Amino acid sequence: MEMVIRTLGNAVGLWLATRLLSGLSVPEGASTAGMWINLLVVGAILALVNSLVKPVAKFVALPLYILTFGLFALVVNGAMLRLAGWLTDSLGALGAGGSIPLGLEVTSFGTAIMGSLIVSVISAIIVSVLVDRDQ
DSSP conformation letters of the chain: -HHHHHHHHHHHHHHHHHHH-TTEE----SSHHHHHHHHHHHHHHHHHHHHHTHHHHHHHTHHHHHHTTTTHHHHHHHHHHHHHHHHHHTT-EESTTS-EE---EE--HHHHHHHHHHHHHHHHHHHHHH--TT-
Residues 99, 34: contact at Cβ < 8 Å? yes
Cβ 119 vs Cβ 48: under 8 Å: no
Say which amino acid occupies 76: V
pLDDT single digits (tens) 2-54: 889 999 999 999 999 999 999 999 887 667 888 888 899 899 999 999 999 99
Alpha-carbon distance 105 to 103, whole Å? 6
Which of the given ranges, 27-41, 54-68, 81-95, has the highest pLDDT on average? 54-68
Separation CA 54–CA 32 (nearest Å): 31
Does residue 96 surpass a pLDDT of 70?
no
Kindly list the domain boundaries of the chain, sorted by start residue.
2-122
Residue with the bigger pLDDT between 95 and 77: it is 77
Q: Whole-model pTM above 0.75?
A: yes
